[in-house]
Structure 1
Amino acid sequence: MSGTSGICAGRVVAVTGAGRGLGRAHALALAAEGAAVVVNDLGTGPAGEGASEGPAHAVVAEIRAGGGAAVAHTGDIATDAGAVSLVGTALEAYGRLDALVNNAGFLRDRMLVNLGEDDWDAVVAVHLKGHFLPLRHAAAHWRARAKAGQVPGARVVNTTSGAGLLGSVGQANYAAAKAGIVALTLVAAAELARYGVLVNAVAPAARTRMTEGPFADAMAAPGAGAFDAMAPENVSPLVVWLASPESAGVTGRVLEADGGRITVMNGWHRGPTADSGTRRTPAEAGAATRRLLAQAPPPLPVYGSG
């Protein structure tokens, strides 16, 4: 695999949702940089329907055809058993796990008043629970290694979204899950630092099955010869770097990535403040809040709000 630096040589990386789109691009890029990759994909449809082992095995075959190392994992990482077996597959195949890239997901978009409980539960499960469970079991493995005197130098790359950072009309379930992933990233970074585990999140913008519907025009491929800013492969170099030893010292960060652009997202921070030193009446609280809002910049618009 020519034209690469090998910054992940000798590392074992598990990538969830790696059968298509961003996950596939990440898996191929990691393998090109020397990583052995556990390719997880349940093989569901765009809305989480059905299952197929085909996508995961196809990516494994593609990596092996290029001279890389990979094994397939087709379990459901939104279940405890599936998450346990994901970590187990890495250990059985390669004897170690160095990085986890949480990427699996699907969409069931509805306006809030039309959003059913099943659609809420399914999307929150695959995105938020599907991040938590693999992270939990990978972290337990790395903690055990650290306590045994083997500092793991491990990495976790979570996948959030601009929808989770700013909101997105018609995607209350998805946006809430992606916002939860940011909080999970911050907590995990703080808790796992003592064990040598760095945890960050990437908010990508790319053309995938998930964006074909709601953002089809913005994600359309350009004409021949033009730079394809929405290609999933544009996001993967950042993911590879974050999964590598080269990202030492970087943790608890959220980074937007699309095309050739990388942006550090600063998240919530305290703005204008007023302290009365005593309890306010509702009218006083309202008046103080209006004065503070007049001093603060307006919020960024929610995607799709006009």
Structure 2
Amino acid sequence: MFDPRDPYERYYWHYESRRPLSVAEIIALQSVDAETAGLVWLLLEHRVSLTVAGPTDPQPGVGKTTTLNALLQFLPEETALAYMSGMYENFSFTRLPDINPDTTYALCNEVSDHLPIYMWGRIARRYLMLPGQGYHVATSVHADTIDDVMHMYQHDLRLAPEHIRRLGLIINIGLAGRSYPARRRWFSTHFIQPHVDPERPDSIVPVPLSLWNSFDDTFEHADESLLNDLAGWIGMDTQEFHQALARRIACMQEVSQGSGVDMQGMFDAITEMHEKES
């Protein structure tokens, strides 16, 4: 069975990429901007679940695994990672006597039917329902747009709306244009509105936080009103939210200068930020 302590097995099970990159290095490559990365950092610190979606045409090197691993650095220090074993997963970690769902992320390499080391069908459905038990999930999927992600979750995997509303962040990435070397971009970053609309109890509303503008290769961001709603959804005071966001954006701008700091440099920057805030 899969042993996540073994670096070779993590690579074989597609939990690690051949060339790991930090979020700072990803910004330096212009795949995303500091404003988007800073917002995602703040949300992951507040333990939202995460899906990184890439093209349905499975192109090697598009960056799903690299992006997912880079973003895991933003999780709180006390976070425990439970690595899933694809279609062999039996969710025995949920029965451990000392497990704390609130501080545990269930990490799945991919939700798809491509390989047995990925999750699909009832196993994937059970996995994506874990947030209903207080856990958090982080995974990747093959989907070109946010609508494709929602269709997969709601129709292919038959998740009920209340479970989809707990899935937090959805980041769609892909390759821009046909030039070489390939330009990787975060096409969109959405947050699934967690509250039920009384007038439309079955509706699922992905709220756009950042959208890539292909015309001038820039990113368009959510306005202040939407960010205020976001603060309430994750349980933060509005003023505190905006101040914390500004600090993280400034940090990402600094560490992404030049070619950007590596994973260790990113870890050090995150640690320094937490020490200053404490």
TM over 0.5: no
TM-score, normalised by the number of residues in structure 2: 0.35
**Which of these two proteins has the greater Rg computed from alpha carbons?**
1
Structure 1 or 2: more strand by fraction: 2
Return the structure number with greater relative CO, CA threshold 8 A, min gap 6. Answer: 2
